[in-house]
Amino acid sequence: MVASSLMIALVLVILTTLLIAFQVKKTLVSGHKSSQSSSYVKKVPTIIIAGPSYSGKTSLFHKLTSDETNAKLLTVMSQEPSFALKYKGTMTTLADYPGHVKLAYKLKNGIIDLKGNLKGILFVLDSTIDPKNITETAEYLTEILLILEKIREPIDILIACNKNESFTARQPLKIKEALENEITRIFERKKKSLGNIERDIGDVDEINENLDLSFDISKGFKFDYLEGNVEVLAGSVHKNKITTWQEWVGSHLV
């Protein structure tokens, strides 16, 4: 009897181990974090989820890809992008890039590598942020816009105003206006800085190439100037109010 019980226990341990190994392998194959996925993504239609740290973008990524509801499990900081290959059974990959400013180069390289395969950018921000303190968020978005300007292809952008359930949340129109005003100031600072460099090195062509825009920034920046469509929509990952964002993603799937 004892021998039979030990045998049953041993079989259960083996089966449990095999099941765990299978789940780990399945996670890796799904492409959430692997160098092979990164190489593969360069060649397929991709929608990028980006935004500053703590905006809720990674929680949104997990909700879209795994229907997770426990936000506390989704706040792990990652230094590598995460990928959901063949999202919703389509040919499109959903990619979540780290939001820390020191890792912004990964997003830049990702956008450049994709070229014509980039189908849209979902930019998540915290809608409770005071418009007076929106500079860092606007700078992050400006770097994305500068890359898209160099690509010269119309790429749609969704600015997802997260945490809209909060009493201190700003409405999308106010956030849009605050971003446009701040991006205008950022471009003005860049032009002034480039102008100073131009006087020092005298290479006008190189300076113009560094800030190559398809619109006249002297009139101020507006999202309407971009070739792609820009939508600004409110929602809440915490309250699971992400339907409009899901619809936007769905409309860009291939």
Residue type, 78: S
Specify the CATH number of the domain 37-199+208-253. Answer: 3.40.50.300
pLDDT < 70: residue spans in the chain: 1-41, 67-78, 195-212
The whole-number pLDDT of residue 169 equals 94
Residue ranges covered by each domain of the chain? 37-199+208-253
Burial 178-204 (b: 16+ CB within 10 A, else e): bbbebbbebbeebeeebeeebeeeeee
The whole-number pLDDT of residue 79 equals 76
C-alpha torsion sign, points 81, 116, 137, 229: negative
- Pairwise CA distance, residues 154 & 39, whole Å: 24
Contact 49, 57 (CB under 8 A): yes
- Own/partner pairs, 36-44, CB within 8 angstroms, 24+ separation: 37/83, 37/85, 38/81, 38/83, 40/85, 40/93, 41/83, 41/85, 41/93, 41/95, 41/110, 41/114, 42/113, 42/114, 42/117, 43/117, 44/85, 44/91, 44/92, 44/93, 44/117
Contact 120, 156 (CB under 8 A): yes
- Among 113, 104, 114, 118, residue whose Cα is nearest residue 155: 118
The whole-number pLDDT of residue 152 equals 74
Ordered DSSP codes for 98-155: ---GGGHHHHHHHHHHHGGGEEEEEEEEETTS-GGG-HHHHHHHHHHHHHHHHHTS--
The whole-number pLDDT of residue 121 equals 97
The whole-number pLDDT of residue 106 equals 87
- Pairwise CA distance, residues 60 & 162, whole Å: 9
The whole-number pLDDT of residue 30 equals 40
